[in-house]
Amino acid sequence: MRVTATQSDEENMAGIETLASEVEALHGAFAVWTQWTIGLLAASVLVAAGYFFVSFATNIRARQLEEKQVDLAKAKEAQLATDLAGKDASIAEAQRDAAAAQKEAAGAILELTQVKVDLAKQQERAADAERKYLEIQERLSFRKLSAAQRAQLIESLRIVPKGPARVFHVAQNREASEFAAQIRDVMRAAGWNTGAPNSLLGLDVVGLGILVRDPKDMPQYTADIQHAFAAASIELPVEAHDGVDKGGVWIIVGHKR
């Protein structure tokens, strides 16, 4: 029975030693894991602290970025407003310049129109003065038969029946006297007997004409004389005059019209 007890003690001691060894091994493992746990916990704390620091810094930078973006937007708006104001001012100035130019152009057009009106009036006055000058020259110039008229009269008067036809002119009128001489020369060249040209006192006649005693009983060649002069563009109206011999024809040269 005593041997049995000793074996049991030895077995107990061996078990205790085994357990002690296991406990010691577990204690060492526990210590290692405890250190790892503490290390990981410390690392977690550091990571959490870094996260919070980074988050804090990020938030600060985000606010700063937002503020800068707001400032940039305001600066852009201010610059845009300044640019628009400058453009508005430029546009307003351009509009003023355009209005001034239009006003100046309108003034120039008005002046040009007035100049044209004045020029037209001057031209009209000049034309009127020239017309009056030509009229005066025409009144002062002496009447003359052109070469074509002379040829036409001679040809027309040569082929018609002839009779007494005297040529008279109003008294004290040199122009009428010279024109009467031209008519006399033409009629003589055509074979007519006109006698010397004489002035006719007491008769104030304007233009040319034929005088007969009685237009209802005038010589037949009176119409031939009229037609001949008409062919040369010279009108000779017939009028009655008591001084004309019966059966006679007087060609009278009066004052120039």
Write out pLDDT tens, residues 128-158: 888 887 777 777 799 999 999 999 999 999 9
Helix, strand or coil, per DSSP, at residue 112 = helix
Of 54-63, 103-112, 135-144, the range with the highest mean pLDDT is 103-112
Question: Which of 71-85, 89-103, 220-234 is predicted with the least confidence, judged by mean pLDDT?
Answer: 71-85
pLDDT digits (tens, 9 = 90+) for 204-251: 899 999 999 999 999 999 999 999 999 999 999 999 999 898 889 999
pLDDT at residue 136, as a whole number: 74
Mean pLDDT of 1-28: 72
Q: Is 36 left (phi over 0), alpha (psi -120 to 50) or beta?
A: alpha
Percent of the chain with pLDDT over 70: 95
Reply yes or no on whether the pLDDT at 165 is more than 60. Answer: yes
Distances (CA, A) of 28 to 15, 21, 23, 31: 20, 10, 8, 5
Domain residue extents for the chain: 1-141, 147-253
Q: Computed from CA positions of residues 53, 58, 59, 63, in that sequence, does the dihedral angle turn out positive or negative? A: positive
CB atoms inside a 10 Å sphere around CB 221? 18
Question: Using DSSP, how many helices (H) and how many strands (E) does the chain show?
Answer: 4, 5
State which CATH number among 3.20.20.100, 3.30.420.40, 3.30.428.10, 3.30.70.2390 fits the domain covering 147-253: 3.30.70.2390
Model confidence pLDDT, tens digit, residues 17-31: 888 787 788 777 777
| Higher local confidence (pLDDT), 187 or 199 | 187
The pLDDT score that the predictor gives to residue 4 is: 57
Give the integer Cα–Cα distance in Å for 144 and 100: 65
